[in-house]
Amino acid sequence: MSVGMHLVVSGFSLGSFYALVALGFALIFGVTHAFNLAHGELIILSGYLAYFLWRGLEVHPLATLPLTVALMPVFALALAQLLKLVREPFPMNSLVVTFGVALVVEQALLSAFSADYRLIQPAAPALMQVPALGLALTETQVTLLVLSLLATGIVHLWLTRTFSGKALRATIQNREAARLVGINLGRMRTSAFAVGGLLIGLAGPLYGQTLYLYPAGGLEATLIAVTLTIFAGVGRIPTLLLGGWLLGLAESWAALALGANWRELVSALLLVLLLILRPEGLKIRTEG
């Protein structure tokens, strides 16, 4: 495989990983304005569930996804119930509350699973060759690419093709206008947390398969999610994947051309540049 092809594969798979980690956060933040600092801890919790299914019951890592996807909305909805008690200013108070939740979850994970680093490791990581394209992809890279495309596509279709999705999108775009046309904001909030939970359930096992799990690892995941949400813009699901790919490609290029120590600097510069050129940043898109 050529150097250029290596760079492209590495960049796209890293970007797909970033997008999968950020999807749930971006959706919940877009609808509810809740700055969920416990997002990463929920991803790690989901990863631990998958890890013990894989280790204990020898379930294939990909086969753990249905269970984590089914279970994590329960935790996300519990968080939604807790955030219902938060008073104004909601964005700031939600930040404090979810920070507290993150600490509690981290301590619980430390007590339950110890401080050891855990890897979800397929029995035989295969290398998939596509000779016609001169491609060689690892199993993890293929999984990340396929699942990020699938998740983004399904969420995008739901937001653009279904009544409930359109209502949710309207809420992201303008909450007041959505309320005036009869959209139940409470129900939208619940939907956002439920779907956000599904996406967290999807991201957790892949996090354990791509990186490694440890109780304090949630901060890393939350930082990825916040950065990418700023990068891509709130409520723009396809842009989130594009943003992830752009970041992944930029980081991989920096690591190859300039050296590994440049990767964070290059992505930070890119982020600053985009915020200057696209000043709306975290501001919710209000146009129709």
Partner 1 sequence: MRQGGRHGWLLGLAAVLLLAGAGSGKAAVQELALGEINPLTGALAKHGLEIHQGIALAVEEVNARGGLAGRRVKLLSRDDQSRPEIALNQAQDLITRERVVGLVGGYVDTLVGPISEMAAKHQVPYVASASLQAALTRKRHNPYFFRISNLEGILSPVCRLVGEVLRPQQVALIYMATPGSLEFAEGVEERLTRQGIRIPVKEKFRPGAPDFSMALLKVRMTGCEVLISGGFYPDNLLLTRQLREQRLQLQALLAPWGAAYPSFIAELGELSEGVLGTCAWTPGVTWPGTEKDSQAFITAFEARFQQSPTTTAMHGYASARVLLTALERALARSPAPTGEQVVKELRTLDLTLPLGRVRFDAHGDPLDYHHVVVQIQGGRLVPVYPPERAQARVMVPLPAGRK
Q: Which residues are near partner 1 by CB under 8 A?
A: 3, 6-7, 10, 14, 17, 106-107, 110, 114-119, 121, 123-127, 138-140, 210-212, 214-217, 220, 251-252, 255-256, 259-261, 263-264
**Of 218 and 233, which CB lies nearer to partner 1 in the complex structure?**
218
**Of 110 and 272, which CB lies nearer to partner 1 in the complex structure?**
110
Task: With beta carbons less than 8 A apart as the criterion, state whether 135 and 1 touch.
Answer: yes
List the one residue out of 212, 4, 58 whose CA is nearest residue 120: 212
Task: With beta carbons less than 8 A apart as the criterion, state whether 262 and 255 touch.
Answer: yes
CB of 186 to partner 1, least distance (A): 36
CB of 57 to partner 1, least distance (A): 17
Q: In sequence order, which ranges of the chain are alpha helices (DSSP H)?
A: 3-32, 39-57, 65-84, 90-113, 139-161, 163-173, 175-180, 185-210, 218-232, 237-257, 263-277
CB of 110 to partner 1, least distance (A): 6
CB of 60 to partner 1, least distance (A): 15
Task: With beta carbons less than 8 A apart as the criterion, state whether 203 and 43 touch.
Answer: yes
CB of 48 to partner 1, least distance (A): 14
**Of 117 and 269, which CB lies nearer to partner 1 in the complex structure?**
117
Phi, psi of 251 (to 5 degrees): -65, -40
Three-state DSSP at 36 gives coil
**Of 154 and 256, which CB lies nearer to partner 1 in the complex structure?**
256
**Of 85 and 115, which CB lies nearer to partner 1 in the complex structure?**
115
